[in-house]
Amino acid sequence: MKVLLTGAAGFIGTAIWTELVERGHDVVAVDAYIPQAHPVDVAGRPDVHRLDVRRAGEWPELLRGVEVVCHQAAMVGAGVTVADLPAYAGHNDLGTAVLLAAMHAAGVGRIVLASSMVVYGEGRYACAAHGAQEPGPRSLAALEAGDFDNHCPQCGGGLTWETVPERARLDPRSSYAASKLAQEHYAAAWARQGQGSAIALRYHNVYGPGMPRDTPYSGVAAMFRSSIEAGRAPEVFEDGAQMRDFVHVGDVARANAIAIEAVLHAPTQRFAAFNVCSGRPISIGDVARAVAAGTGSDLAPIVTGRYRIGDVRHIVASPALARSELGFVAEVDPLVGLPRFATEPLRA
């Protein structure tokens, strides 16, 4: 199958590219031009077509004969400042819209889109007395007082977290999250109007070799190992009990390959979203301990009680729909993958 892969030179794109080639697919590798804090250097890579993702004129030639597009190119991270808003909208929203229009014009009707768990906002919660709850953002006063947990809006009591299914309420809370949800909406509209079919893969916390090193936009696992390499103990925010799902980049690549094969045979006018996660929830404190153990360092993680405004408390995916509909099950347990990640090469 001929697949056009955008973001091919990035951390996740590189892993997908390898997986697709191993499966015998013909890959048109594109590095969509996204000037950001940590640009991917494709100088000296004639196998990667470099273009500005927002420029329509460059797509028709590349899309010739393509059956499925795998769209990974995006500006990532949580949105560090308000000044980032136009960059997220330009590269993620407009970039995707331009690509979808070009696909329609070229008669390419299948797309797999990289989305994110950030479209959910907070995870899912239940109160023992009042059942399912959707807490709003945590107040600054509560965070300042070291009260990191969400509370039941009805009784103020504690909430237990639950895994988030794809049908959960969508509540994007950052510029990045807004742009990821917009990408999903554009893909759904394109599928309906243009007789296409789209699958969005909502990645949870992805880690693995080639991950960008310590930048404001990189994930916490890379930050923890960078701290240790610099001789500093990893700093765990809040109380370290916040829960996430850490999924290995190799599993993410496999999920994309499976989705590409599935979307080719999916009915037209269909949009479907799937969580891509390990299915093995882990606390951030345990992530820090797993990475520290893998480095062999005796620098124990420090729980600082510091916090980031806008962080959600717990966000843990349900892997059930991806398993039942796509047949995707992650292989790498974070308790094995994170210590191993501690000594794998990172991207500068």
Ligand X SMILES: O=c1ccn([C@@H]2O[C@H](COP(=O)(O)OP(=O)(O)O[C@H]3O[C@H](CO)[C@@H](O)[C@H](O)[C@H]3O)[C@@H](O)[C@H]2O)c(=O)[nH]1
Contact set with ligand X (CB under 6 A): 76-78, 116, 118, 205, 217, 219-220, 223, 235-237, 242, 244, 284, 308, 311
CB of 202 to ligand X, least distance (A): 10
3-state SS class at 102: helix
Name which of 28 and 40 has its Cβ closer to ligand X.
Answer: 40
Which tokens is 205 given? 């916390």
Q: What is the spatial order of strands in the sheet that 160-162 belongs to?
A: 131-133, 124-127, 160-162
Shortest CA distance to 116 belongs to which of 322, 324, 331, 276? 276
Q: What does DSSP assign to residue 237?
A: P
What's the CA gap between 88 and 324, in Å, rounded? 33
**In angstroms, how far is CA 227 from the centroid of its own chain?**
23
Name which of 194 and 219 has its Cβ closer to ligand X.
Answer: 219
**Cβ neighbours of 307 (radius 10 Å):** 18
What's the CA gap between 344 and 337, in Å, rounded? 10
CB of 118 to ligand X, least distance (A): 4
Shortest CA distance to 341 belongs to which of 176, 192, 218? 218
> Could you tell me if 185 and 200 are in contact, meaning their C-beta atoms sit under 8 angstroms apart?
no
Residue 116 contacts by C-beta under 8 Å, 6 or more apart in sequence? Answer: 176, 177, 180, 202, 203
Please identify which of the residues 125, 176, 186, 203 carries the catalytic annotation. Answer: 176
Name which of 310 and 327 has its Cβ closer to ligand X.
Answer: 310
CB of 237 to ligand X, least distance (A): 4
Name which of 79 and 196 has its Cβ closer to ligand X.
Answer: 79
Based on the residue annotation, tell me whether 176 is a catalytic residue of this protein: yes
Burial 189-205 (b: 16+ CB within 10 A, else e): ebbeebebbbbbbbbbb
Name which of 3 and 290 has its Cβ closer to ligand X.
Answer: 290
Which tokens is 291 given? 């990475």
Backbone phi, then psi, for 328, in 5-degree steps? -95, 125
Residue in the shown chain whose Cβ atom is closest to ligand X: 220
Name which of 77 and 294 has its Cβ closer to ligand X.
Answer: 77
CB of 125 to ligand X, least distance (A): 16
Helix H or strand E encompassing 291:
helix 284-295
CB of 150 to ligand X, least distance (A): 13
3-state SS class at 275: strand
CB of 64 to ligand X, least distance (A): 33
The residue type found at 335 is: L
Which tokens is 341 given? 């990640």
Name which of 235 and 261 has its Cβ closer to ligand X.
Answer: 235
CB of 235 to ligand X, least distance (A): 5
Q: In which residue are the tokens 């590409």 written?
A: 260
Q: In which residue are the tokens 């292989």 written?
A: 331
Residues annotated as part of the active site:
176
